[in-house]
Amino acid sequence: MRRYSAFAIAREALRHHQGWERAWRAPEPKPGYDAVIIGAGGHGLATAYYLGKNHGVTNVAVIEKGWLGGGNTGRNTTIIRSNYLQDPSAAIYEKARSLYETLSQDLNYNVMFSPRGVMMLAQTHHEVRGYQRTAHANALQGVVTEYIGPERVKDLCPIIHIDGPRYPVLGALWQPRGGTARHDAVAWGYARACSAMGMDIIQQCEVLGVRSEGGSVVGVDTAKGFIGCKRLGIVVAGHSSVVAEMAGFRLPVESLALQALVSEPIKPCMDVVVMANTVHGYMSQSDKGEMVIGGGTDGFNNYTQRGSFHHIEETLRALIETFPMISRLKMLRQWGGIVDMTGDRSPLISKTPLGGCFINCGWGTGGFKAIPGSGWAMAELMAKGEPGPLAAAFGMERFREGRFIDESVAAGVAH
């Protein structure tokens, strides 16, 4: 695979861009692999990448029922932060955030990481105390955050109305190196790097069944036939329970739609990311100028990957007191993704009751930010058969043992 570089752009400009290669191959499946990963979202692709890069396992297939990055990875609002409360969460989200800092260089693909800063507004006294507590916890965890007052909020984001009648802004939890990245590029960058290592990314290939012998996985039945494997990773987000059932076990996960929308593009007016969790809204401005806006999950479990009108109304009504300027914007597009929620709002990176089969799911409304760290930890689990330090706390046995990692506040999105 040829490297992308300024020199390559100049060379291609001179020959009318006729010489670019395909970013990844489109192979037919082989009869078997050392490792198969179901799901070519960010987490599945990152798992494959770090299996190759960190553990030298490259006889790998990533199997996707649709197109790569077409699930939640290509549908999210791209917020990256690591301001979680519990130690295991801070460790994995901060690992992910720090990998994002150099991901473009690592993958030789511009993922447009933009550490513009993320603030979570405190609009009730309860939130003030909660975010001050998180700032103290983050200081102990080595995660750089700061509790800031309303004047600093206004300085950082002049379009915020801080004296709202119902929910005045009392302060914020500020993470200066949080931000955003281009979601598709994260999937595409990992896919290209995996393909370059010789891995097969097989799209339009739904997994229909999981086969086992003597309590261990031997392969998967797919729309393109049987594919054998020694190790299987299930990384399918909102469809985790469906695929787990094929493998013969149940998960403590519910599936819900989470929706988002974007406005027409406008001139630059906001160069930070703002989350307003009391009213359930969050907003940032994309490089194209659109205001990227999201709210809470649907109030009922479902698999419908779509937007709905009542959600636009609810989300904008929630945000308008704090951002009066959005009342004058036209909204362009809306969509939904199916998120996988656990009871403690923390993920599963876990062995399963089926030998050789591992699961990575439960990232719910907040897994985009985790992709590099999650892939790193899942690759270690799949390569060694045991979790490393990043994944150790996230086994599914924690639900049997009552050892929850409660992140219902830090998850930041209503559910």
Question: Which phi and psi angles does 118 have, rounded to 5°?
Answer: -120, 130
Q: In the bound complex, what is the minimum distance in angstroms from residue 374's beta carbon to ligand FAD?
A: 8
Whole-Å CA distances, 94 to 85, 387, 390, 398: 12, 18, 11, 22
Residues within window 102-121 making contact with ligand FAD, judged by CB under 6 A: none
Residues within window 77-116 making contact with ligand PYC, judged by CB under 6 A: 77, 79, 81
Among 35, 75, 104, 396, binds ligand FAD (CB under 6 A): 75
Q: In the bound complex, what is the minimum distance in angstroms from residue 186's beta carbon to ligand FAD?
A: 9
Among 29, 70, 88, 171, binds ligand FAD (CB under 6 A): 70
Among 237, 283, 354, 383, binds ligand FAD (CB under 6 A): 237
Compare residues 19 and 209 and give the one whose CB is closer to ligand FAD: 209
Tell me: does residue 373 bind ligand FAD (CB under 6 A): no
**What whole-number distance in Å separates Cα of residue 397 and Cα of residue 387?**
13
DSSP state of 160: -
**What whole-number distance in Å separates Cα of residue 149 and Cα of residue 174?**
10
DSSP state of 394: G
Unique residue bearing structure tokens 């959005």 = 326
> Could you tell which of ligand PYC, ligand FAD, none binds residue 412, using a CB distance below 5 to 8 A set by kind?
ligand PYC
Query: Beta strand pairing status for 281-285 and 273-276?
Result: antiparallel
Tell me: does residue 43 bind ligand PYC (CB under 6 A): no
Compare residues 77 and 222 and give the one whose CB is closer to ligand PYC: 77
Among 119, 258, 276, 390, binds ligand FAD (CB under 6 A): 258
Token pair, residue 39, equals 């799901």
Tell me: does residue 315 bind ligand FAD (CB under 6 A): no
> Could you tell which of ligand PYC, ligand FAD, none binds residue 109, using a CB distance below 5 to 8 A set by kind?
none
Closest CA to 336 of 361, 360, 312: 312
Closest CA to 61 of 84, 40, 85, 92: 40
Compare residues 227 and 274 and give the one whose CB is closer to ligand PYC: 274
Tell me: does residue 362 bind ligand PYC (CB under 6 A): no
Size of the site for ligand PYC (CB under 6 A): 9
Q: In the bound complex, what is the minimum distance in angstroms from residue 245's beta carbon to ligand FAD?
A: 11
Contact pattern for ligand FAD over residues 49 through 68, marking x by CB under 6 A: --------------xxxx--
Token pair, residue 308, equals 């709905």
Helix 371-384 to helix 42-55 angle, to the nearest 10 degrees? 50
Q: In the bound complex, what is the minimum distance in angstroms from residue 64's beta carbon to ligand FAD?
A: 5
Three-class DSSP category at 33: strand
| Half-sphere exposure in the Cβ direction for 65 (13 Å, CA) | 15
Closest CA to 29 of 191, 235, 207: 207
Tell me: does residue 43 bind ligand FAD (CB under 6 A): yes
**What whole-number distance in Å separates Cα of residue 138 and Cα of residue 149?**
18
Tell me: does residue 316 bind ligand FAD (CB under 6 A): no
Tell me: does residue 281 bind ligand FAD (CB under 6 A): no
Choose the stretch contacting ligand FAD; rule: CB under 6 A; options: 14-22, 76-84, 119-127, 388-396: 76-84
DSSP string, 295-359: EEEEEEE-------HHHHHHHHHHHHTT-GGGGGPPEEEEEEEEEEEETTS--EEEE-SSBTEEE
Among 315, 334, 365, 374, binds ligand PYC (CB under 6 A): 365
Contacting positions for ligand PYC (CB under 6 A): 77, 79, 81, 282, 294, 365-366, 412-413
